[in-house]
Amino acid sequence: MSTSSLYKRILRRETHSSRSGIAITLAVLLILVFAWIGTESVIAAVGGQALLVAPADAASATLDAASAPVGVLTAAGAVVAVIGVVLIVVALAPGRRGRRAGPAGDRAAAVVDDRVIARSLARTASYAGDVDPDQVSVSVGKRQALVEVTRTSGRSADLRSIEEAVRDELDGYDYRPALRPRVVLSKKGTVGA
């Protein structure tokens, strides 16, 4: 039983988006467009009254549009092109979902939400630095966990011990991609906390 290749596949699929939302949206839009074109074609073929625009009128309107003012054509083309670029980027980007593999174990594969990591680090930092949990904010990026500490006015915050505690916690996890801690002191202070 090739469990490791199985786990590798599962971890990849759990940490990256399947893009099913945008794919389904596009499919539904295309279905609507094709349904409309098909319906109009059939109606025109049997000689009925057009629903919105008869195919002949639509085709001639499109051909007439070629001689429309330059500004309008350029703007419309640019908008369509930008939408196209966005879709291409969505299709080719890795599509990370804000999760990472780990903590590793022999028995089971594991995936952790970045928000869970951030909250855990915030708690560790607030204990280590003896500051209120509200005064610590953590943001977890792809490779870096940024811990921002707002100290109480008139008191010093022990950044070194916070950094050590956060580093200790991250070392215990073995995440892939791994996280580097960065602890910074916010310029602002909190009064009376």
Partner 1 sequence: MNATNRALNRLLVLVVGLVLLAAGGAVAVGALLPDVQQTVSGAASDASGPTSDALSGGQPWILWVVAVACLVLIALLVWFALRQGGGRTGTLLELSEGKGAGSPTGGHLVVDAKVAEQMLEEALSDTAGIVSVDVTAFRVKRQTVLRVTANARKGASPLDVRKAVDRAIEAWDALLGTETPVVVQINGGLRTQLSGATRLD
Q: Which of residues 146-185 bind partner 1 (CB under 8 A)?
A: 169, 172-173
For partner 1, which is the closer residue by CB, 7 or 161? 7
**Residue from 38, 48, 141, 177 binding partner 1 (CB under 8 A):** 38
Q: Does 44 bind partner 1 (CB under 8 A)?
A: yes
Of 111, 97, 117, 95, give the one whose Cα is nearest residue 176.
111
Which H or E element spans position 136? strand 136-140
Q: Does 144 bind partner 1 (CB under 8 A)?
A: no
What is the rounded CA–CA span in Å between residue 121 and residue 5?
31
**Residue from 103, 130, 160, 182 binding partner 1 (CB under 8 A):** 103
Site for partner 1 in 108-137 (CB under 8 A): 108-113, 115-117, 119-120, 122-124, 133
Contacts of 178 (CB under 8 A, 6+ apart): 143, 170
Are 73 and 65 contacting, i.e. CB atoms less than 8 angstroms apart? yes
Q: Does 94 bind partner 1 (CB under 8 A)?
A: no
What is the rounded CA–CA span in Å between residue 159 and residue 59?
69
Which H or E element spans position 37? helix 20-45
CA diameter of the chain: 85
Quote the least distance from Cβ 139 to partner 1, whole Å: 14
Q: Does 63 bind partner 1 (CB under 8 A)?
A: yes
Q: Does 139 bind partner 1 (CB under 8 A)?
A: no
What is the rounded CA–CA span in Å between residue 193 and residue 127?
15
- Tell me, by CB under 8 A, how many residues bind partner 1: 81
- Return the range that interacts with partner 1 (CB under 8 A); candidates 105-113, 141-149, 153-161, 177-185: 105-113
For partner 1, which is the closer residue by CB, 79 or 184? 79
Q: Does 59 bind partner 1 (CB under 8 A)?
A: yes
Quote the least distance from Cβ 140 to partner 1, whole Å: 11
What is the rounded CA–CA span in Å between residue 109 and residue 94?
21
Q: Does 53 bind partner 1 (CB under 8 A)?
A: no
